[in-house]
Chain A
Amino acid sequence: MAEPRLVAVLARCSDLRVEVDALTGAVSRDARTVAFSSSDAAAIEHGLQLASAWGARTLVLTAGGPECDGPLRDVAALGAEVRRVATHGSYVEELAADERALARAMVSAMGERPDLVLCADRSADRGTGALPAFVAHELGVVQAPGLVSLERDGNELIAERRLDFGRRERMRVPLPAVCSVEAAGTRLRRASLPASLAAARFEVPVAEVAVPGPAVRVLGSRAARPRPRHLPAPTGSSRERLLALTGALLSHEPPTVIGPVDASGAADALLEFLARNGYLSEARTGYAAS
């Protein structure tokens, strides 16, 4: 195939230190701590490295509100094109959002068909992780999740991922593809000072995409309040119930009182008890007695 021309990175940008009130469950988010998670940052870094190796463009797309513009500006200072896909809606709506619709929106916001799409393996806010698969489906291309390293091999990729028991898997991934990466020690580079200064007033382009509303809608959420269990009122007088509980005045076997006896007498009594209850055979008893 021809030289790759566009590497798109779908990077999620969210508050990495969401506060949850322990009592009410209210979630408070802070625009100032909105950032790319370490695996999203790694995806961007991989994107920049691969694109420069191929001489391709890097396009970083983020779905979210204006709070994402700061982190996107930092990425723009690294020489990547950036675009924000405007989404509206509350946190609850977002979590239950139809990720297929989001994938569609992201793909349409790319403008042209990418040769490689990179995403983070998991989002910081415990999203479903289904977005890369939906994007791959939307584009009709292969998908390779959970990658820890990505190398260019001509116009293809050599990718590596962790398996259980410390094993690694090396794969040749044909392009176009959707790859999701783990942070695995890859850090996003920092922009130079002149680029940061230039980007400080950069207006992040916003792609307004008509995303159909989520197929599953949350009608409301509240704290879990299980119904109380129904227990029938007790019957009988309190005296009867007390007697039933304690077992007083009921006939029962009186305890056997043995003794006081000496040691051999006690041993005989024990053996006789065991034999009577079938724990010892006659022969054993005879042996013990001798």
Chain B
Amino acid sequence: MTGYDGISFDDRMETVEFRVAERAHIVVDSDVCRSCTTKACVTACPANLFAPTSDGGILFNYEQCFECGTCYQVCNAEGALTWTYPDGGHGVVFRHG
């Protein structure tokens, strides 16, 4: 998918280094998400990691996470998101932040 400024989202994320940890630092309880009407995380996540599934749930990929915390701030369902920091030394590494 190409964004309208000519760079695809994948290429955009390619510019960032992620040291992917074995453990997923964010866990989404898709059962809770099914009852969510807003699903604000889907558009608000700057890394576009939340994908709605056909059965109304949410699929989450933790690998390319900026660890910004926007998702749990906009999440209105108690217990849908378990947010922790990735294990020390892992996760996003900004060099021009």
Contacts and interface: CB of A to CB of B under 8 A. Distances in A.
B20 to A, nearest CB: 10
A187 interface: yes
Interface in A14-47: 17, 30, 32-33
A239 interface: no
Interface stretch (B3-11, B24-32, B56-64, B87-95): B87-95
A33 B88 contact: no
Interface residues of B, number: 7
Given A17-B17, A187-B22, A30 B95 contact: yes
Interface string B77-96: 00000000001110001010
A17 B89 CA distance: 15
A33 B17 contact: yes
9 contacts: A17-B17, A30-B95, A32-B95, A33-B93, A33-B95, A187-B22, A190-B87, A190-B88, A190-B89
Nearest to B93: A33
Contacts of B93: 33
A33 B95 CA distance: 9
Interface of B: 17, 22, 87-89, 93, 95
Contacts of A187: 22
A33 B94 CA distance: 10
Interface of A: 17, 30, 32-33, 187, 190
A54 B13 CA distance: 45
A187 B93 CA distance: 19
A158 B88 CA distance: 33
A65 to B, nearest CB: 20
Nearest to B22: A187
7 closest pairs, A vs B, by CB?
Answer: A17-B17, A187-B22, A30-B95, A190-B88, A33-B93, A33-B95, A33-B17
Contacts of B88: 190
Contacts of B89: 190
Contacts of A32: 95
B19 to A, nearest CB: 9
A70 to B, nearest CB: 11
B15 to A, nearest CB: 11
Contacts of A30: 95
A103 to B, nearest CB: 30
Nearest to A187: B22
B95 to A, nearest CB: 7
B96 to A, nearest CB: 11
Nearest to B17: A17
Nearest to A19: B95
A165 B94 CA distance: 39
A196 to B, nearest CB: 9
A94 B80 CA distance: 52
A141 to B, nearest CB: 34
B82 to A, nearest CB: 22
Contacts of A17: 17, 95
A189 B93 CA distance: 20
Contacts of A190: 87-89
B93 to A, nearest CB: 7
Contacts of B95: 17, 30, 32-33
